[in-house]
Amino acid sequence: MKPALLPHLQVFLVVARLRSFSGAARELGVSTTAVSQSVRHFEEQLGVTLLARTTRSVSLTDAGRRLVEGAGPGLGQALSAIREVSAQPGETVGRLRLSVPRSAVPFLITPVLPTFRERHPRVEVEVVVEDRFVDIVAEGYDAGVRLSEAIERDMVQVRLTDAFRFVVVGAPGYLARQGSPQRPEDLLKHECITFRSQSTGTLYAWELERGRRSWRVPVRGGVVSNDNQTTVALAEAGLGLAYAFEPAAEERLRAGRLVRVLEAYAPTVPGFFLYFPSRAQRSMPLRHFIEVAKELSARRL
């Protein structure tokens, strides 16, 4: 069918459903004459009569009935789909897919998404929680969240948090039994709950620093995990020392269930950043997510 006939088909289907030219005119917001002319032009183009008209009623011919049965459902679905993806003035419609490390979820996703969804209810958000390094372009993400040192240099970066520290922590009971390490080298004598990288499969060497000097200590222990929250929980249970993202352990530290050790050697990292390929590729849903994230971050700070 020629595209120019589609508006006439839509008018015809409304008349067929209501069995009334005047009723169709009211629903479509046009004059009865305009509806009548549209149907007449449609019939002339098709070379068939679709509607039988009398002064009292409108009914479908056999050709009109076949057209309603064949085209009506399909056009209805198409119009419904168009309405679903169409945005009203000031409204954003679309999808946002984010790759986020588990440690960032309580600080960047849980606080932000309720406000974002309230403001933009027609944006579908998919949050994929994974600690491995992700090629966001190849894997179809709009953006990712990572520490700045883990982000490729050609990516656009938007700060989402302040800088924070990584600290070595242990339960008071464990430290009472085993003593507290005084230097980075002392960690080699301790039971350490180690972390295995999902990206490389290797055990993570704990990074410490003081002044201009830095250490990468190849700690070992009887428990290995690929989840930082788990290592902190196991440290609280007294199984050994853990290397913790400090904000994630803050509640346990305040309550005294965990204690910082080697605090003078705790390294500081710039914080979490949202990153994406280029400003030209930044979608409207992503722009709005950045706005909400930065607004809420400013309030917390």
Break the chain into its structural domains and give their ranges: 3-85, 94-162+271-300, 164-269
Domain 164-269 has CATH 3.40.190.290: yes
- What is the predicted pLDDT for the residue at 301? 45
Report yes or no: 112 and 145 within 8 Å, Cβ to Cβ: no
Type of residue numbered 149: E
The CATH code of the domain at 3-85 is: 1.10.10.10
Q: Residue 83 above 60 pLDDT?
A: no
In whole angstroms, what is the distance from residue 290 CA to residue 158 CA?
8
What is the number of alpha carbons within 13 Å of residue 178 lying toward its C-beta? 21
Q: What is the pLDDT of residues 202-237, one digit of tens each?
A: 898 999 999 999 999 999 999 999 888 899 999 999
Q: Which of 131, 108, 94, 124 is nearest to 290 (CA)?
A: 108
Q: What is the pLDDT of residues 261-280, one digit of tens each?
A: 999 999 999 888 888 887 65
Q: What are the start-end ranges of the H helices in 29-136?
A: 32-46, 62-85, 113-119
Q: Residue 115 above 80 pLDDT?
A: yes
pTM to 2 decimal places:
0.63
In whole angstroms, what is the distance from residue 291 CA to residue 123 CA?
14
Q: Which CATH number fits the domain 94-162+271-300, given the four candidates 3.40.190.10, 3.90.650.10, 3.40.980.10, 3.40.50.720?
A: 3.40.190.10
- What is the predicted pLDDT for the residue at 193? 96
Bigger pLDDT: 136 vs 128: 128
Query: In the block, which residue shows the tokens 């050709």?
Result: 63
Q: Residue 184 above 90 pLDDT?
A: yes
Q: How many residues does the chain have?
A: 301
Q: Residue 76 above 70 pLDDT?
A: no
| Whole-number average pLDDT of the chain | 85
What Rg do the C-alpha atoms of the chain give, in angstroms?
A: 32
Q: Does 94-162+271-300 match 164-269 in CATH topology?
A: yes
- What is the predicted pLDDT for the residue at 300? 57
Average pLDDT (112-124) is 91
- What is the predicted pLDDT for the residue at 293? 86
- What is the predicted pLDDT for the residue at 279? 62
